[in-house]
Amino acid sequence: MNFQNRTAIVTGGTSGIGESTVRQLLEKGATVLVLGRNAEKGKQLEALGNCKFYSCDVADPASIESVCSKILEAHPTIDILVNNAGMSLDGTVESLTLEEWNRIFAVNVTSIYLMSKYIVPAMRKNGYGRIINIGSTAGTVGAWGLHAYSATKGAVIQLSKSMAAEYAKEGILVNCLCPGGTMTPLMEGIGANDLDDFAKLFPIGRLAQPDEIARTIVFLASEEASFMAGSTVLVDGGFTCI
């Protein structure tokens, strides 16, 4: 896989799965535009070369619009969009506040709609694009105590299919990658014993490292994935097969 002359945007690219994706795309020759909130990490990634950090709060539509406009001015051709930024939130329909519910939908779903709204027209002009939206196993099966999170990820899967159907003919291939439990900052706050118990739910017997998820994101972003559109790709250590 060679990404020379390809420009990629990765949201939430300063940690976890997003950061691994940024690093792997850079290693393979892409120019990578990182959207996120951690400017210090952004600088470290910029130091790798061919990388530019843009401060962006994806929960804020104005922030997305202004960053996309800056990006398109500097890079009229965008080949790859990885909609990775996301948050998790414990809670049931009874315990979640409306504010929490709206917040997680803004971060996990509306940000994908808005990023795509601004970037797809540039891809259409060029007749080429790869969009990888990050879902979750929690969007394919129910999840105890994660009602809003699993609802957002179900929405990401369905949005990805509709976008794929819309744009595949124009050379823009949209797929949704659903990771299983992965050792990233999203897992912070879960105690070691609980993590061990969680890992037992995976037939593979452990949680993933972010690089293991990023490798499949990079594949979907490449020309190797030339016949994939609207797929829900589970990289979950077998979690959903039992």
Interface residues toward ligand NAD, by CB under 6 A:
12, 14-18, 36-37, 56-59, 84-87, 107, 134, 136, 179, 181-182, 184-187
| C-beta of 24 vs 84, nearer to ligand NAD | 84
The runs of H, that is alpha helices, within 34-108 are 39-46, 61-74, 98-105
Give the span between the Cα atoms of 110 and 127, in whole angstroms: 25
CB of 14 to ligand NAD, least distance (A): 5
Mind giving me the DSSP string for 206-238? SPBPHHHHHHHHHHHHSGGGTT--S-EEEESTT
DSSP class of 239: G
Q: Residue with structure tokens 């315990």?
A: 95
CB of 195 to ligand NAD, least distance (A): 10
CB of 98 to ligand NAD, least distance (A): 18
| C-beta of 31 vs 136, nearer to ligand NAD | 136
Give the span between the Cα atoms of 146 and 190, in whole angstroms: 14
| C-beta of 9 vs 186, nearer to ligand NAD | 186
Q: Widest CA span of the chain, in angstroms?
A: 51
CB of 19 to ligand NAD, least distance (A): 7
Residues labelled catalytic = 149
Buried b (16+ CB within 10 A) or exposed e, 34-54: bbbebeebbeebeeeeebbbb
CB of 67 to ligand NAD, least distance (A): 10
| C-beta of 187 vs 228, nearer to ligand NAD | 187
Tokens of 26: 């850079």
Sign of CA dihedral 57, 190, 236, 206: positive
| C-beta of 87 vs 168, nearer to ligand NAD | 87
